[in-house]
Amino acid sequence: MCLRRLRSLWKQWTDKMPNVLVMTPITQSEFDAVERANTQAAAGEYLLASFPTFWKYTISAQELLRLKIFPTWRTSKDGAKYIGQFHKHRTEAFAITYANLATKPHLFQKGTGVNFDPNYNNFGSAPKPVIVYHCKKCDVHVVKDGNHRLLRCAYHACDPNLDVYQVSSSDWSGSTVDMKNFCSCSEPLELAT
């Protein structure tokens, strides 16, 4: 990628996310290594995206939560039930924000799929990075790894700085896993209540 294009992308990002502490373009192999080492979700979905770009940045958790960002967890329309199958259509399983999910402790219990203990400090001494897939066209961000940490930040309103590894593309139409459920370019994204 040429330097002029990187500067243009950098300007777009810093305009949208003024509180990013450090943002650096990285290579696909750097992203792959971090994703393979850290994610439990289906790694490599970005291979189905058109012309992906790869970034590493540091941002406060609350600033990240203010973006159009979603966990891979989805629920029933009323937010009463966790629906864990990625193959369920968006009319059967709905995106939920971290803020909304933080108000639904019945979804935290073991065996629900979310398995979130608000008292457990999942940051540890050497916190893992957050892995994010991003659609540049509709500005949706989907967290592939780091969902429990971000839910903890939403639940407790804590604000640590997070290292984020992000892959961005303006075309996720080839996605067959998570991005197909969240990207609103092909069909509107309806949220759980």
- Whole-number mean pLDDT of the chain? 87
pLDDT band at 21; cut points 50, 70, 90: low
Say if residues 171 and 54 touch (Cβ distance below 8 Å): no
The domain spans of the chain are: 3-182
Report pLDDT digits (tens) over 48-80: 899 999 999 999 999 999 999 999 999 999 999
The share of the chain scoring above pLDDT 70, in percent, equals 86
Helix (H) or strand (E) holding 131: strand 130-135
Handedness of CA 167, 143, 159, 93 (dihedral sign): positive
More confident residue, 127 or 77: 77
Region 91-118: mean pLDDT is 91
Q: Residue 160: is its pLDDT beyond 90?
A: yes
Token digits of residue 43: 């790694």
